[in-house]
Structure 1
């Protein structure tokens, strides 16, 4: 379905009267990252996917935008589509934005899923992000493709799924360098730990068992600071919704349905 052009690009599938699930994607991807979830979920839910700022078809926010600015831009885009209450699913960078939405707009979020993400960026990882920014400034998004794919998928899945990797590779290459750099700069300064105790909505934290970008032990530790959180793992690396789409859908739907 074509996007209805608002501040951010928003895509909606499924009955407009059904319960709404909003999906936020990882850095260097777009709303297309959720394509594996559309068909099965749109039978029972209104599936809303958003291109985060300067990703996909969305414009950039002003220079220096913070996680709070990203969160407010997403909330405004959802409002513009006539949606008040919704469940919210974030993957990686999208989950970092989702944490802010749950804190800044708590009356709107019914249930929250945080997948394959961090709540704080330690100094060695900050240095890694700064190196990645410098690489993109020198050589564009092509510098991020192979290292990202290695982090995002287990070797067995990568070897068995070349078409899927080509699809993700194309998303990375189509991401504007400026969009990647803006997101990477705020990821490098990430510290949402002080916000975690403010998340009151029911929360599912999903980790990939083989995720080196967001290790499950680190995710379990930050989930312990969210009073409402339950923790689950999937047998994947970083992009759990792509590597294990059926298991991811099952975990999300059971949680959103309150089962």
Structure 2
């Protein structure tokens, strides 16, 4: 598995990533507590026409670092380093949740690198209500990590999930979430608390899809409206699901993402990776 070493604000990081397929570049940025594996269905759907780079940022997967505090800027630097190491010069970017904040920061600070942008469940600035939720996450993670996994379906899923769930199936989901939760989820949640993209969003030049979850109880609709207002070239779509729409309603979610990507003029074509 490829990796790239770089210096971030707290010290050194070694970022591991997958690179798959051939064609124009596509960088995928996962959310809090997840890993690059979040994107497996999208990778399979587009590997025939994109060179897909899916990294783990600090706190997730095989990526290692100094173990201290992180910033949005750190995670954006890691993502750019992975894309560059994989041979991508200009590329499309898809980000979910914290990954959407990282993607927007990258697109606003290095606009020459980003050909198009998909922001799912993103936000402009962490407000008081969101910060209260993130503080609760941190307290639960500190006191009883297993309870955090039990909270996740309540936070992440909407009526589509709950109308089909029973106690046994939900228990199975909780167990899977507990087993796969990234070890650095608390560090990443601290980054969630610091998000403030107001200064960088107007500098985004890439055509952008603001993709909302209609039943998202974490990210309020006002945040989506503000993304639309602050980013110059946007369009809007939504999925009838909760914050974790990619897991709750995958068919609709992946269809919207792939349709947007396929509708964009290609980034600078990339050679097939040699690794």
2:237 to 220, 232, 238: 232
For 1:11, what is the secondary structure of its paired residue? strand
The 1-side partners of 2:49 and 2:117 are apart by 18
The TM-score normalised by the length of structure 2 is 0.83
Aligned 1:70-89 pairs, distance under 5 A = 70-89=75-94
Indicate the RMSD between aligned Cα atoms, in angstroms. Answer: 2.3
The 2-side partners of 1:225 and 1:170 are apart by 37
Offset at residue 164 of structure 1 (A): 9.4
2:69 to 45, 64, 72: 64
The 2-side partners of 1:105 and 1:5 are apart by 22
Kept in 2: contact 1:56–1:175 (CA 8 A): no
The count of aligned residue pairs is 253
The 1:97–1:165 alpha-carbon spacing in structure 2 relative to 1, beyond 3 Å, is: farther
The 1:182–1:35 alpha-carbon spacing in structure 2 relative to 1, beyond 3 Å, is: same
The TM-score normalised by the length of structure 1 is 0.88
The 1:231–1:96 alpha-carbon spacing in structure 2 relative to 1, beyond 3 Å, is: same
Offset at residue 172 of structure 1 (A): 4.8
The 2-side partners of 1:136 and 1:157 are apart by 24
Kept in 1: contact 2:28–2:39 (CA 8 A): yes
Tell me which residue corresponds to 1:102: 107
Tell me which residue corresponds to 2:17: 10
Tell me which residue corresponds to 1:207: 212
The 2-side partners of 1:169 and 1:228 are apart by 41
The 2-side partners of 1:165 and 1:230 are apart by 37
Structure 2 residue 192 is the aligned partner of structure 1 residue 194: no
Aligned 1:235-250 pairs, distance under 5 A = 235-250=240-255
The 2-side partners of 1:158 and 1:227 are apart by 37
Q: Flag structure 2 segments of 5+ consecutive residues without an equivalent.
A: 5-13, 265-275
